[in-house]
Structure 1
């Protein structure tokens, strides 16, 4: 299973200048609970956006994609492309999480089986956006079913889980599979 997980403000904004333009501790706790024990795949900029004390993300094999031959990510595996990242991750565990950034999400979308999205009721500006799920996805869970949760930071948010519809073939490691 290849999953992707992100939080987004209105308009799909997920980041600005290497940071998230909000504070939502409930989302961070959910991110940790979902990804713990499984490999996480990310781009170099996402890796660098984590405070050094959180790199690598503990309890998860961290795999960083970069085209830079001399990039070093202590405690993580560095790979040159998404195909190698997914092959490495799937050799470790049958559940893998793509955790950012925008380009990695867009490149991995055709290969993903599940999306875990936190929608934040916030107008935010940013330079990075999430991909928009197309008709091949269906919402299988929204929490709360209607309305919003209230964060201790004052933001309102909701969780959505989307799964790929079974009738559509998806790309897996560069080829289509049923």
Structure 2
């Protein structure tokens, strides 16, 4: 039997009013440092192989619209198991390139279906491919975040706080600062989980200041 998948970590960037998207894309300019952080954190495993020699890999869970917002040449996202959640999985699969690849996408009907598949058939497939799942990141959109926040498996939120407002039509459902359930972690704790060097007070790029934060469910 493959090991059960780990807890879920939401990863996102948001404006002060919790805006996360506009018109199917990002509301702010393309920020290479923020995008680089996302790529490295969602790819990074530790250590690189498990005790029995299997290579570790992380999964990224996303809704169909988030998948479609990724330029075709960049999907599936490299070096991660891509999991796409859609209410019409068969119709989605019929449109896919049928090549077999550990990066997927694996197609599921819900977040719970994804967890179930990772525990079952697809977890076994990974084991047969000499792979082992380490972390599961939920990368959007808003309805997937909303569902994931209600699940006990969701233990952590990695939030890039934008210090500037932008026009948005999509919003993160919870202000983590205003709940007693979610606790803001220290810079050292963010560094330990992500493996990244986190600059005190945030960083600035293209005139946009932002900082990397982490919240954990108490």
The TM-score range, normalised by the shorter chain, is 0.7 to 0.9
Q: Which runs of 5+ in 2 are unaligned?
A: 1-6, 44-56, 98-103, 124-131, 188-197
In our comparison, the structure showing a higher alpha carbon Rg is: 2
1:47 equivalenced with 2:67 (yes/no): yes
| Equivalent position of 2:204 in the other structure | 150
| Equivalent position of 1:8 in the other structure | 14
1:101 equivalenced with 2:141 (yes/no): yes
Residues 57-107 of structure 1: CA deviation (Å, up to 9, x unaligned) = 000000000011311344401111111112334535242100000000010
**1:21 corresponds to which of 27, 47, 56:** 27
- Mapped to 2, the partners of 1:49 and 1:89 lie a distance apart of 24
| Equivalent position of 1:35 in the other structure | 42
Partner SS for 2:150: helix
Q: Which runs of 5+ in 1 are unaligned?
A: 166-178
| Equivalent position of 1:84 in the other structure | 113
**1:137 corresponds to which of 149, 160, 182:** 182
**2:216 corresponds to which of 154, 160, 163:** 163
Task: Point out the more displaced range, 133-142 or 155-164.
Answer: 133-142
Task: Point out the more displaced range, 31-40 or 45-54.
Answer: 31-40
Partner SS for 1:88: helix
- Kindly indicate which of the two structures has a greater share of residues assigned to strand: 1
Judge conservation of contact 1:15–1:128 (CA < 8 Å) in 2: yes
Task: Point out the more displaced range, 45-54 or 123-132.
Answer: 123-132
Judge conservation of contact 1:39–1:89 (CA < 8 Å) in 2: no
